[in-house]
Structure 1
Amino acid sequence: MKLVLFDVDGTLVDSQNIIVAGLRAAFEAHGLEAPSRERSLSIVGLSLAEAFTVLAGPKGPIDSLVAAYKESFVLLRQDPAFDSPLFPGAEACLRWLHGRGDVVLGVATGKSRRGVRHLLDQHGWHGIFSVIQTAEDAPSKPHPGMILQAMDAAGIGAADTVMVGDSSYDMAMARAAGVLPVGVSWGFQPVAALVEAGAGRIVNSYAELEESLQEFLERPSQKIA
């Protein structure tokens, strides 16, 4: 058995518009200048507290910003203008992996458990992921805790685990956990940032990802350098 872990925002789901709008609303509620779109997307993957610490500085009203973001996010999610569609090919890829019989599927995300539950409800993914690690279960990325706990829960070692994500935090987390980091080019961070953080390979579509994962699943176990 092999463990395939996915990030969510920027990897499975194109949630950039609602994230940027939620961050803007949180900052404006505090009379603060909202970060640019590029800067807003650069922190996707971190837990909310870590993200706002980066954006507002360690002396900013972190807890209050987090609360404001959560409140605005719930409201924005009800607006069709902020729909967060799956990236093309994501659904088919997950169904293919789930149906193989030799794969344990998991999630390692900076989202809350509530956010993940909404995702599972929305797409009918209950039963797809055997292991779910959220911002409430481990330290924020790039700490390897999410992956280490996922491997422990699945009973699968680092040589048989791959992390798929769109951010430098995903790649650094994977490297720290000793697993294969696969970066996707369609996410919220530049490919150069993923390569610099240690991406083992970069894929440009879900078709390419399936080819890469097929190769990973067929190879004998070996330690990732």
Structure 2
Amino acid sequence: MSTGYALAYRLGITPWERAGEVARAGFEALLEREEAERSRPLGRALDLGCGRGQHTHELAARGWEAVGVDNIPRAVEAARSTGSSGATFVVGDVTQLSEAALGTFDFFLDVGCFHGLDADARREQGAGVTAIARPNATLLMLAFQPTPLPLVPDGVSQADVEAAFPGWQLLSVEPADTSGMPGPLKRTTPHWYRLRKSL
């Protein structure tokens, strides 16, 4: 995880949280699509790079057994102290998921974590997710496209996503709602990637 991410939490600068609130309706529609394909109970969901738990709490409120993992203790402490959704939060490294002993999962959510990693770390995250994914598990990822903009993650291409998850089928790629993002960040043209673990 980038040092800029840790610094942002120390300074209390988290523009991605506001962007998430503005784009909430679109995000909920994506979750509804996931849930429509499943029976109840929905299963276990892991929020990768959960930050202060905005999306983890949402998953738990919708009926998932939700776990959030982040390597910034300050963010995890905040996540634990807000909401009463029943979500669980763990300090851990998304590139070393086996060390966190989290169990297995049916659904993975990555909102802006993967695209901040270098190529080796992306492969490590992909391998870790694959190792704890149950059969037919799905992954929903929001990631910036590659960009030369300063002070933002480098971004990833569709090829980068597929390279990190070789045992997964790419189901869809859709442009994300950028209406809540600061002006320069809109130029990152983020996309939602949806993948399913191959049997």
Pairwise TM-score range, normalised by the shorter structure = 0.3 to 0.5
TM-score (norm 2): 0.45
Higher relative contact order (CA 8 A, sep 6+): 1
TM-score (norm 1): 0.41
Q: Which has the larger radius of gyration?
A: 1
More strand by share: 2
More helix by share: 1
